[in-house]
Amino acid sequence: MKGQLLNVIFFLLGLGKSFAQLNESDTAKFQLRTSVTGNYQQGNVEVLNIKSKIDFSFSPHKNWVIKSQYSSLYQAFYSAKADNDIFSRNYIYCSPQKKVYPFGIAYISTNYRRKIDTRYFAGAGITWQSINTKNTVVKFSASTVYENTKFTANNYNFAEYNGDKNINLWRGTLYAGGWSYLLEKHIRLYYDAYWQPAFNNSNNYRTQIDIGADFPIWKGLSFNALYAFTHENVVIEKVIQEDKILTFGIAYLLKVR
């Protein structure tokens, strides 16, 4: 019930403002976006689905930017919970207006469907801005993180992990992302992809690819669509390694310079 309430709260907050990724290299002192998709159906089929996201960035000093991302997903079919997930990713950047700049990252998440009670990691890395113009942004980054994952079961698809609900390890992360305006800014295409291999076991890796588009409606308000693909190679037995989701919603960008 508590998880449902949190998702409903973020659903209501998300009715206002949303956009694709925030650019930490933007000179704005504050940026905020939220997004929401959802549906509720009763009758022959009973379904509740709420997905929300809140992102903001803040620059307390010209050489420093703090960025935080929070998202949640709740799904239920005939009152049987299918998903109840949270995801929080937080960064601190040093001199992000430069071509190459360092960052620190801290992350925490849960995933009901994949039987992940909690996962957190923290680390540091470096970003290279390949392109940063008004119409196109392309970035690449590499980082190292220490990760702890607590599962709700201890039987895995790879037997070497059996018997332990906690998996601790060091990971590398390779990331690419950006966006481009198309058709005289009538479409904004955005994309993210990352790969996270474990240093001590080639079987333990995961990847995610997000591809989305914003279609401007009026003064920053836009309709958006997002396709997300995730693959986690080490999972609890009988849990599928891949998930795919296509969502639609409303978007709006807020900047304070």
Q: Are 71 and 1 in contact (CB under 8 A)?
A: no
Q: What Cα–Cα distance (Å) separates residue 25 from each residue in 93, 176, 184, 206, 239?
A: 9, 15, 23, 27, 39
Span 79-125, pLDDT tens digits:
677 677 888 989 999 999 899 999 999 999 998 888 999 999 999 99
Domain region containing 32: 2-256
Averaged pLDDT, 133-159? 94
State how many domains the chain has: 1
Span 99-110, pLDDT tens digits:
999 999 999 999
Does 128 or 41 have the greater pLDDT score? 128
- Token reading at 195: 């790969």
Count of residues making up the chain = 257
CATH of the domain at 213: 2.40.160.40
Does 21 or 248 have the greater pLDDT score? 248
